[in-house]
A and B are shown apart, each in its own frame.
Chain A
Amino acid sequence: MTRSEQERTHIVRAWLGEGGSELSHSVLHGVLQEVPTTAQDRPVWSSRRPRTNKMISVVTVAAAVIVVVIVGTRLLPEGDGRGSSPALPSPTEAPTPAPGTIDRSYREVGYIGLPPLGVVSSDPERTDLVENFWLPRNSGAGYRGAAFVYADGRMIWNEYYAVVSASTGWLEQRLTDEGIELVRGLGGQTSEADVPRRLDPALLPNILPASAWADRTVRPYVPSRFAACVFVADRVTRGGAMYVEHDASASLPQMLAMLPGEARDLLVNRTPLPAGQDEYRVCLGMPTADARRLDAALRDGGLEQDASRNTWLLEYHTDLDGDEPEDRWLNIWFEPILPDGTITCSSCG
């Protein structure tokens, strides 16, 4: 019972034809949300024509409906999702974006990786965490946004926009005592490892009243210390599927030995930070000046950067097996050490 080549090709085509071919609502909604705020690239030869206001308003209304649905969903308490929305403070009277819209200027305020030279670090360096929020990614592991509220009133947050592969970077605003109390209880102090669907960090600025803000201005968050985190990963094929597995057996000395000499020397005598240590990654803390030296040493040492990932984190990697595509590699990247000592994992996911 051998099949001819034609029969086999026919089966492949039939198999490829299986499955749906519909556009997901989430994709359609995501696109409709992005389009009104995404400028078209116009080549010089292209003629321009005025926009049709009616058309814009139709799409805007559609997007607004979607935003209301999304925001409404996010504000619902967890559980069966049928309960009433928690009592939230009235929106501030200050001119703000409509609830659910993301102020694009946030992206222009923050920085990715290490802060520009000469900026002043956020003060104080250490303080207690009051509340935090996590926003899970649509796919894969990890999160796409997080907000941390501290006892001194600082709210430190970031968010990643999948559609444009860009992050706000870490940003900072300051709450009053009233603001802290309003925020307390909205989230739930859960760990990054168990990312729940909570409030969108970028929406928090829009749902608090003016009296909640000591300083509503969005500024880049500049920590005093950074962590350099490292792990080794393998691409494995199991049952025909490809997976990435982190190599938990790679010890810190082994991983450091894989780095260029100067980078290794900058790391070798540092103690791993408990907050940045899990089953596979190890994080080493250092002042910003040392982080800059390490960054230069990694770059000069010939480690590679992936342009599509370095839009939201400062990360280097090195191929450990010489294959293309690489099947075993080492990742090293920088994370801010937040005022309570938290170290998030931008490279996870």
Chain B
Amino acid sequence: MDTDLVIAAQHGDEEAFARLVVGVGGRLQAVAQRILRDVDLAEDATQVALVRIWKSLPGLRDPDRFDAWSYQLLVRSCYAEARRTRHWTPGLSLVDTDGSTEDPLVSVADRDQLERAFRSLSFDQRAVVVLRHYLDLPMTEVAEVLGIPVGTAGSRLHYAMRALHAALDAAARPMLQEATG
């Protein structure tokens, strides 16, 4: 993230903001897609978040904190989008995995179980998992983005990961049965 662009955009420079959007927009949309697990909803949430970022940018006191601040606005937009539509129809437009980005470490069964387990998590749990394990943010920053105490963030992460680990165990079970059967 280019701090000079942030500062210029704070002062109303629309081209600087356009460059900023090109630079950070992809990452924001990727986070939204991973939280919402729906491409269309994620696009809407990202667009809303980016316009809010533009609107609120002059109020950002520390331009170096732009990333964390933008994630905060994005997560709020995702939450609003999920609530506003009141229904997620993820079967219609899943996160795009055309195969080219699939990790060989993840089996088809793992992927299926993780998808199901992740969708059964609450919105707050999804957000904490994505911020911690996709963006690799430290827990203090995850807590800051979500506006919650570090302990609460840790607890949400613990329960969410427990559910995801259980899903992976379930995915491994048929393989185990096959091997021993």
A residues contacting B by CB (< 8 A) are 1-3, 5, 8-24, 26-28, 30-32, 34-36, 38-43, 46-49, 51-52, 55-56, 58-59, 62, 138-140, 162-165, 233, 235, 237, 239-244, 306, 308-309, 349
Contact = CB atoms under 8 A, between A and B. Distances in A.
A41 B161 CA distance: 39
Contacts of A21: 26-27, 29-30
Interface of B: 10-18, 21-22, 25-30, 33-34, 38, 40-41, 43-44, 46-48, 50-51, 54-59, 80, 83-91, 93, 95-97, 101-103, 105-106, 110-111, 114-120, 129-130, 133-134, 161, 164-165, 168-169, 172, 175-176, 179
Contact of A140 (B26, B40, B105): B40
A59 B115 contact: no
Given A8-B169, A42-B59, A140-B40, 7 more contacts: A3-B172, A12-B161, A15-B114, A27-B25, A49-B11, A58-B14, A233-B86
Contacts, number: 214
A9 B18 contact: no
Interface of B, secondary structure class, is: helix
Contacts of A244: 86-87
Given A12-B161, A41-B59, A19 B33 contact: yes
B51 A15 contact: no
A255 to B, nearest CB: 18
A23 B57 contact: no
B84 A165 contact: yes
Contact of B43 (A15, A24, A349): A24
Contact of A59 (B14, B27, B83, B89): B14
Contact of A8 (B18, B27, B168): B168
A27 B51 contact: no
A27 B47 CA distance: 5
Contacts of B59: 41-43, 46
B106 A138 contact: no
Contacts of A51: 12-14
A41 B59 CA distance: 7
Lowest 8 A-B CB distances belong to which pairs? A240-B116, A139-B40, A244-B87, A23-B25, A21-B30, A55-B15, A14-B103, A59-B14
Contact of A5 (B12, B87, B102, B165): B165
B148 to A, nearest CB: 17
A55 B14 CA distance: 6
A9 B96 contact: no
